A and B are shown apart, each in its own frame.
Chain A
Amino acid sequence: MATTEPTITNKPTSDQALLLRKPRSLWSDARRRLLSSTVGIMGLAICAFLFAIAIITPIVQPLDQTLNRDTANKLQPPSWLMSQEERADAAKKSIDKARKDTPWGRFERPFGTDQLGRDIFIRVLHGAPISLTVGTFAVVLAVIFGSLLGLVSGFFGGIIDTITTWLMDILLAFPSILLAIALTAISNNRESFSYKFSQQITNLPILQTIFDPPLFNAMLAVAVIEVPIFGRIARAAVLSVRNQEYIHAAEAVGVSRTRMLMRHILPNSLTPILVQMTLSVASSITSVAALGFLGLGAQPPRPEWGSMLSTAREYVGTGQWWYALFPGIAIMLTVLGFNLLGDGLRDALDPRLKH
Chain B
Amino acid sequence: MLGYIFRRLLGIIPVLLGISLLVFTLLRTIPGDPAIIILGERSTPEQRAALRTKLKLDRPLYLNFEGGNVFESQYVTYITNFATGDFGDSIKTRQAISKELKERFPATIELALSALLIAVVVGVTTGVVSATKRGSLLDAGSMIVALLGVSIPIFWLGLMMQYLFSVKLKWLDPSLRLDTSLHGTFKPITGLYLLDGLLLGRFDIFTNAFKHLIMPSLALATVPLASIARMTRSAMLEVLYQDYIRTARAKGLSARITILRHGLRNALIPVITVIGLQLGFLLGGAVLTETVFSWPGIGRWLLDGILARDYPVVQSGVMFVSLVFVLINTLVDISYRFFDPRIQFK
Interface string of B18-48 (1 = CB under 8 A from A): 1100110010011110000000000000000
Closest to A333 in B: B151
- Contact residues in B for A328 (Cβ distance below 8 Å): 153, 156-157, 159-160
Within 8 Å by CB of A294, from B26, B151, B281, B291, lies B291
- Contact residues in B for A178 (Cβ distance below 8 Å): 284, 287, 299, 302, 318, 321
Query: How many A-B contacts at CB < 8 Å in the complex?
Result: 126
A250 to B322, CA, bound (A): 44
A293 to B283, CA, bound (A): 18
Q: B195 interface residue, CB < 8 Å from A? A: no
Closest to B155 in A: A293
- Contact residues in B for A294 (Cβ distance below 8 Å): 287-288, 291, 303
Closest to B314 in A: A182
- In the assembled complex, the CB of B172 is this many whole angstroms from the nearest CB of chain A, namely 14
A169-B18, A170-B19, A293-B155 known; A339 and B150 CB under 8 Å?
A: yes
Q: A317 interface residue, CB < 8 Å from B? A: yes
A189 to B283, CA, bound (A): 26
A169-B15, A325-B160 known; A336 and B148 CB under 8 Å?
A: yes
Within 8 Å by CB of B287, from A177, A186, A306, lies A177
- Contact residues in A for B16 (Cβ distance below 8 Å): 173
Interface size on B, residues (CB 8 A): 51
Are A173 and B155 in contact, CB atoms less than 8 angstroms apart? Answer: no
- Contact residues in A for B147 (Cβ distance below 8 Å): 336, 339-340
- State which residues 308-355 of A face B: CB under 8 Å: 309, 312-313, 316-319, 321, 324-325, 327-328, 331-332, 335-336, 339-340, 355
Q: A192 interface residue, CB < 8 Å from B? A: yes
Are B167 and A316 in contact, CB atoms less than 8 angstroms apart? Answer: yes
A282 to B314, CA, bound (A): 29
Are B159 and A316 in contact, CB atoms less than 8 angstroms apart? Answer: yes
Q: B68 interface residue, CB < 8 Å from A? A: no
A289 to B159, CA, bound (A): 14
Are B151 and A332 in contact, CB atoms less than 8 angstroms apart? Answer: yes
Are A175 and B288 in contact, CB atoms less than 8 angstroms apart? Answer: no
Q: A107 interface residue, CB < 8 Å from B? A: no
A175-B283, A312-B159, A316-B162 known; A182 and B15 CB under 8 Å?
A: no
Are B152 and A332 in contact, CB atoms less than 8 angstroms apart? Answer: yes
Q: B174 interface residue, CB < 8 Å from A? A: yes
Q: A181 interface residue, CB < 8 Å from B? A: yes
Q: A125 interface residue, CB < 8 Å from B? A: no
Q: B325 interface residue, CB < 8 Å from A? A: yes
Are B156 and A182 in contact, CB atoms less than 8 angstroms apart? Answer: no
A321 to B168, CA, bound (A): 10
A175-B280, A316-B163 known; A331 and B156 CB under 8 Å?
A: yes
A166 to B22, CA, bound (A): 12
Q: B77 interface residue, CB < 8 Å from A? A: no
Are B167 and A332 in contact, CB atoms less than 8 angstroms apart? Answer: no
Are A174 and B156 in contact, CB atoms less than 8 angstroms apart? Answer: no
A177-B285, A178-B321, A294-B291 known; A319 and B306 CB under 8 Å?
A: no
Q: B234 interface residue, CB < 8 Å from A? A: yes
Closest to B16 in A: A173
- Contact residues in B for A181 (Cβ distance below 8 Å): 287, 303, 306
A306 to B153, CA, bound (A): 10
Q: B14 interface residue, CB < 8 Å from A? A: yes
Within 8 Å by CB of A331, from B14, B32, B153, lies B153
A339 to B22, CA, bound (A): 32
A317 to B158, CA, bound (A): 12
Q: A290 interface residue, CB < 8 Å from B? A: yes
Are B18 and A167 in contact, CB atoms less than 8 angstroms apart? Answer: yes
24 pairs, A vs B, C-beta closer than 8 Å = A169-B18, A170-B18, A170-B22, A174-B322, A174-B325, A175-B283, A182-B306, A182-B318, A186-B26, A186-B29, A192-B29, A290-B288, A294-B291, A294-B303, A309-B156, A316-B159, A316-B162, A318-B167, A321-B163, A324-B160, A332-B148, A332-B151, A335-B151, A335-B152
By a beta-carbon cutoff of 8 Å, the part of chain A in contact with chain B is 166-167, 169-170, 173-178, 181-183, 185-186, 189, 191-192, 282, 286, 289-290, 293-294, 306, 309, 312-313, 316-319, 321, 324-325, 327-328, 331-332, 335-336, 339-340, 355
By a beta-carbon cutoff of 8 Å, the part of chain B in contact with chain A is 14-16, 18-19, 22-23, 26, 29-32, 147-148, 150-153, 155-157, 159-160, 162-163, 167-168, 174, 230, 234, 280-281, 283-285, 287-288, 291-292, 299, 302-303, 306-307, 314, 318, 321-322, 325-326, 329
Report, nearest first, the 9 A-B pairs whose CB atoms are least far apart: A175-B284, A328-B156, A170-B18, A336-B151, A335-B151, A177-B284, A355-B234, A175-B283, A191-B31
